[in-house]
Amino acid sequence: MLEYLSPVSPVPLEIMETTVTPGQTATTPSLPVTIITGFLGSGKTTLLNYILSNQVGLKTAVLVNEFGEVGIDNQLIISSDDDMVELNNGCVCCTINNDLLAAVYKVLDRPEPVDYLVVETTGLADPLPVALTFLGTELRDVTRLDSIITVVDAENFSVDLFNSQVAHNQIAYGDIILLNKTDLVDGQRLEALEGRIREMKEGARILRTTRGQAPLSLLLSVGLFESDRYLESTADPHDHYGHHHDDHATCQDPSHDHSTHDHLTTDGFVSLSFTSDRPLDIRKFQYFLDHQLPPDVFRAKGILWFKESPQRHVFHLSGKRFSLEEGEWQGPPSNQLVLIGQNLDLEKLRSQLEGCLGTASGNRGKGFGR
């Protein structure tokens, strides 16, 4: 049975003074860049929100594949303009939209300069092509790759389970490994995981975290990236980035030609996008989660509409845990859900989700499971 995590109020985060002074001296004129990678549901966006909420005196630009109501915290957003949002701490967030190079230059061309750049990859991204985009293009003259941070889900991590070259590469190329969600496992399990990670990456710098919280001085401007290890690669950064980074380009329609998507094709990852303008029946959806959802669905997220509740529900599933966070609808209610996993029967999944749909009811309850 899947475990439901009741949404809780965010834990107050201590504002930490750091010695981060990136990109502002004569000796380091280039914009420092941190790449955040990690498998599906490991906590990358939580880490990103933590960084944005706790940095002091920095203007940071964030590049992500998607942002908004299930990405960057609503409390941080003050305005939105197409594919860029302004944050209340002077930072900006921009969508990549399949072209990392263009997104970086859009940030660099802003009238107000930024001090730092963070790139959050998707859960199915190999970080090497992203790194090569900064090292093997003209971006190397205006940016400096500082480190690759790999977030690992301590509760759900298992290379054997995922059977994924991408998951392996994310650790192999990581300069800092954040062993996240350590509050959900015991010490013996953590020791075993650290040993497994060190087998995959000798000399790994491992930080144990809960909700991605670590001193920012250990995460930003650490100077750990060694470009010499990567510049020997003969890979075309544009070609690799286009094939591996974008969820929409690599893993939605199984009928699409993925012959060039080497490890993603081998890994068997697919995703299902489900939308409906009819509400879900809570009991039917709970049955789907408990009895029908395949174990090879590693990640799911979306916005859900239940006939029993007037609230809008942000849904996250990672491994065997899921959470629902209630909020107010900003527009007409509807269901938008994405499921990602390996070797899934997409038609069967779609049929099962359609079986969870009900009809809108005027007799609405107080919310999920109440």
Q: How far apart are CA 55 and CA 43, in angstroms?
A: 18
Per-residue confidence at 279, pLDDT binned at 50, 70, 90?
very high
The CATH number given to 29-249 is: 3.40.50.300
All structural domains of the chain with their residue ranges = 29-249, 268-354
The pair phi, psi for residue 95, each rounded to 5°, is -80, 150
76 has pLDDT over 80: no
pLDDT of residue 84: 74
DSSP per residue, 96-108: -TT-HHHHHHHHH
Residues 6+ apart with CB under 8 A from 36: 44, 47, 48, 118, 119, 120, 121, 149, 151
Dihedral (Cα; 11, 17, 20, 25), 10-degree rounding: 150
Q: How far apart are CA 80 and CA 93, in angstroms?
A: 9
Tokens 């960084």, residue?
51
Q: How far apart are CA 14 and CA 225, in angstroms?
A: 28
Label residue 29 exposed, middle or buried (CB < 10 Å: 0-12, 13-18, 19+).
Answer: exposed
Q: How far apart are CA 132 and CA 232, in angstroms?
A: 10
pLDDT of residue 43: 87
Average pLDDT over every residue of 261-289? 80
Of 85, 70, 301, 43, nearest to 179 by C-alpha is: 43
The CATH number given to 268-354 is: 3.30.1220.10
119-176 pLDDT, tens per residue? 988 887 788 888 888 887 888 889 999 999 999 998 887 655 556 788 888 898 999 9
Q: What percent of the chain has pLDDT over 90?
A: 24
- The amino acid at residue 346 is L
Tokens in use for 145?
Answer: 């790759």
243-256 pLDDT, tens per residue? 333 333 333 333 33
